[in-house]
Amino acid sequence: MSHISILKTRLTDKTILIEALEALGYEVTEGENLIISGANRKTKVDFQIAVPWSDPIGFRSGKNGYQIVADWFKIQLDRKQFQDRLLQQYAYVAVKKSVSAQGFSVVQEETSQDNRIHLVFRRNG
């Protein structure tokens, strides 16, 4: 059984979202005519990622943030795990950009066994 699911997010910055996806190892494709299809239904997306041995996962701008568009029956990833990893990476990229713009740099970075990220920053100058 195949159908398109749309997951709403509060991820609003396209640049940070694309950086997060690329940091997770996905190749991002942008274009005018990108479509995600399933069960005789097609949905236009702003950009998409290739997933090995699967259909692509698309992203489109929504009212409160980007939406994740996919036929999860054709995706060889756990939806919850994918979304959790993406949210964590998005937050990681956003925090590093924000504090860097405020004159800080990372002096220590650790990732625990349960994938928690601990960052220590220091003000430059």
pLDDT digits (tens, 9 = 90+) for 106-117: 899 999 999 899
Tell me if 55 sits within 8 A of 36, measured CB to CB: yes
In this prediction, the residues of the chain whose per-residue pLDDT falls under 70 are 1-2
Q: Quote the domain boundaries for residue 116.
A: 5-123
pTM for the structure as a whole: 0.90
Locate 27 and state its tokens. Answer: 């190749």
From its phi and psi, is residue 10 left (phi > 0), alpha (psi between -120 and 50) or beta? alpha
pLDDT, residue 8, reads 94
Round to whole Å and give the CA distance between 117 and 97.
16
> What CATH number has the domain bearing residue 73?
3.30.310
Q: What's the total number of domains in the chain?
A: 1
